[in-house]
Amino acid sequence: MNNFGTLLKGEFQRLSKYKIMQAGIGVSLLWVATLFLIGPDDAGMFLPLFVFMDVSLMTVLLIGSGLFYERQENTLKTLLITPTKFSHIIYSKLITAVIIALQSALILGLLGYFFFDVGIQFHYLIAFTVLISFMHAMLGFVFAVLLKDFPSLLASIMLYMIVFAFPSIFYALDILSTTWSYILIISPTHASMLLVELAFGEPVNGWMIVVSIVYLIVITLVFAKWIVFPNYFKKAIED
Amino acid sequence: MSEVIIEVKDLMFTYGKSQVKAVDGLSFKVKKGEIFGLLGPSGAGKSTTQKILTRLLKGYGGTITYLGKDLSAYDNTFYEDIGVGFELPVHFSKLTGEENMAFFSRLYRKQVDVAPLLKRVGLYEDKDKMVGSYSKGMKMRLNFVRALLNDPKVLFLDEVTNGLDPKNARIIKDMIRAFKEQGGTVILTTHLMNDVEELCDNIAFISGGRIKEIATPRELKIKYGKRILDVEYALNGKTKQNTFDLDGLSNNDTFMSILKNHDIETMHSGETSLDDIFIKVTGESIHE
Ligand SMILES: Nc1ncnc2c1ncn2[C@@H]1O[C@H](COP(=O)(O)OP(=O)(O)O)[C@@H](O)[C@H]1O
Ligand SMILES: [Mg+2]
């Protein structure tokens, strides 16, 4: 097996050994239970919201906490003195996060499709889940680079939710008017939310779709080029 | 003349925001098949030097060549050649010892059989336990095994016997010597005099980021040891003690007559311990 395959396999082995995978499945089941409690009439409205939470916030939490744990264990240093390429180490984690996000998005999507009669466009759901979780996984790396410990990671994710996610959630629940959509687009979570809604067959303005996609790609690249790749390993070594 | 593996010239390094140089103008050569010791107190710059030599820290001043080629000219295949032992445990705590070794092993082209290594360091029985449940000493022994996974040509070991009881320290030291006997080269950094004294062919005394002296243990003892001989002998049922200068000893009549006419009880040359020599050379004690 080549090194990238080994890294990826290692990530999944650890996700399971560290019970992160189990926690992720647990969260998905929690969403599922909630949807059944809500009942078929409103489930359609909450489903995109849950998918959005899982694919964005859960991904930041997954990557961020994993990286802090790894820092504590000093394991990144050992990886860095193997023939493995630095970029492969980062990509293996990003891809793992995307796969986990896809798993929960699909669980929820299929559930909506078969039980709640929600019109889901699965190709959109898959494509946007990849995009959104990739961006949020990168955000997890950004937090790991900038923050010093796990409590500050949790605090930052909370702050991120309050500033960026809640307005989008209110919007999705029709608490905020459509005009807000244009203002909120400067928030990465809102761009994510719009794309998830699109996948769930809700009407979204064509330009807003384009702007959202471009916006998510640009943020991801900016994070990668200026924050994550230049600083991540330096930080791990000097620790 | 044996081949030079690593040559370091005027190595300098300062950490990000720090004002002081962690490494301040180191120069030394490590030859093939030798055990080279960097000996110095905590904070001397040993680990920093090891991290630079293993290409973890970049942005250093001076030059380093590995097998005659600048270190920065190598790509990551450099790591196929070397084994690195860190001073702190570096394993996944919720994976077993064996799972850890299996994972890291697969990242190399060349792989050794791990079981005999685990047996040798006394971890085989515990290979299926999570590393998180290991004692500090067990983790350090696993670190050492981890450094040997790719059958390296050069070993970089940072405080390799740290936290080990004498019996296990003995095993690790024997393994290091065996590695050398099979043609391996070792760069050992430590604050433990014992390690260098038993293992090293050459020792660099390092303090405050600078090398104060490089020599073989024997040369150091000759250069800094007192050139005297203490003799204890029996005289009328009592022990008498006499001290002689080593220089001109063969012409010393008193000494000769003691040898001829009395039973010698003990005889010690005025060897100074490396500990004392370290203080003499660096003006600093190796122990905090
Ligand atoms: N990550 C770091 N950031 C800033 N200074 C550091 C860092 N690591 C080590 N130092 C400093 O560099 C010097 C050398 O440290 P180190 O190489 O660890 O010494 P040794 O291994 O000999 O004990 C010390 O003064 C130490 O405080
Ligand atoms: Mg050290």
Residues A166-191: tens digit of each pLDDT: 888 888 788 888 777 777 777 888 89
Closest ligand by atom to B38 CA: 1
Cβ-defined contact of A82 to B108 (cutoff 8 Å)? yes
Interface of A to B at Cβ within 8 Å reads 1, 3, 6-7, 10, 13-14, 17-18, 73-75, 77-85, 237-238
Tokens of B191: 């604050």
Pairing outcome for strands B228-235 and B238-245: antiparallel
Residues of A with CB below 8 A from B103's CB?
6, 10, 13
Query: How many structural domains comprise chain A?
Result: 1
How many Å apart are CA A18 and CA B92, to the nearest integer?
10
Cβ-defined contact of B93 to A237 (cutoff 8 Å)? no
Q: Please compute the mean of the pLDDT values over residues A71-87 and round it to a whole number.
A: 93
Residues of B with CB below 8 A from A3's CB?
106-107
Tokens of A119: 């019109």
How many Å apart are CA B45 and CA B62, to the nearest integer?
15
Specify the pLDDT at position B233: 93
Are B61 and B10 in contact by the 8 Å Cβ rule? The answer is: yes
Q: Please compute the mean of the pLDDT values over residues A91-102 and round it to a whole number.
A: 96
pLDDT at A3 over 70: yes
Cβ-defined contact of A83 to B76 (cutoff 8 Å)? yes
* Cα B50 to Cα A87, A225, B156, B230, distances in angstroms: 23, 29, 7, 41
Instruction: Give the Cβ contact number of residue A180 at 10 Å.
Output: 15
Residue nearest to atom 14 of ligand 1 (CA): B45
Residues of A with CB below 8 A from B86's CB?
74, 77-78
Indicate the DSSP class of residue B272: P
Interface of B to A at Cβ within 8 Å reads 15-16, 51, 54, 56-57, 76-80, 82, 84, 86, 88-95, 99, 103-104, 106-109, 146
Q: Please compute the mean of the pLDDT values over residues A102-107 and round it to a whole number.
A: 93
Cβ-defined contact of A82 to B15 (cutoff 8 Å)? no
Domain of residue A118, residue span? 2-238
Specify the pLDDT at position A179: 79
With the most atoms of ligand 1 within 8 angstroms of its CB, the residue from B11, B12, B14, B15 to mutate is B15
Confidence of residue A146 (pLDDT cuts 50, 70, 90): very high
Number of Cα atoms under 13 Å in the Cβ half of residue B221: 12
Specify the pLDDT at position B92: 97
What's the CA-to-centroid distance between A14 and ligand 2, angstroms? 29
Q: Is the dihedral of CA B98, B99, B103, B106 positive or negative?
A: positive
Are A118 and A200 in contact by the 8 Å Cβ rule? The answer is: yes
Tokens of B72: 């920065």
User: Is B15 touching ligand 1 by the criterion CB < 6 Å?
Assistant: yes
Specify the pLDDT at position A1: 58
Which pTM does this prediction carry?
0.89
What's the CA-to-centroid distance between B87 and ligand 2, angstroms? 7
Instruction: Give the Cβ contact number of residue B149 at 10 Å.
Output: 21
Specify the pLDDT at position A188: 86
What's the CA-to-centroid distance between B170 and ligand 1, angstroms? 28
How many Å apart are CA B204 and CA B215, to the nearest integer?
7
How many Å apart are CA B103 and CA B183, to the nearest integer?
27
* Of the candidates A106, A112, A111, the residue with the CA atom closest to the CA atom of residue A125: A106
Specify the pLDDT at position B271: 72
How many Å apart are CA B268 and CA B270, to the nearest integer?
6
- Rg of the Cα atoms in chain B: 23
Residue nearest to atom 13 of ligand 1 (CA): B22
Selected for mutation to probe chain B from A78, A79, A86, A232 (highest B CB count within 10 Å) is A78
Average pLDDT, chain A: 91
* Of the candidates A53, A172, A48, A41, the residue with the CA atom closest to the CA atom of residue A116: A41
Specify the pLDDT at position B279: 84
Residues of A with CB below 8 A from B78's CB?
83
Q: At what angle do helices A57-73 and A86-115 cross, to 10 degrees?
A: 150
* Cα A231 to Cα A23, A227, B67, B71, distances in angstroms: 29, 6, 30, 21
ipTM surpasses 0.95: no
What's the CA-to-centroid distance between B100 and ligand 1, angstroms? 28
Specify the pLDDT at position A209: 93
What's the CA-to-centroid distance between A89 and ligand 2, angstroms? 26
Residues of chain B with pLDDT under 70: 1, 288
Confidence of residue A239 (pLDDT cuts 50, 70, 90): low
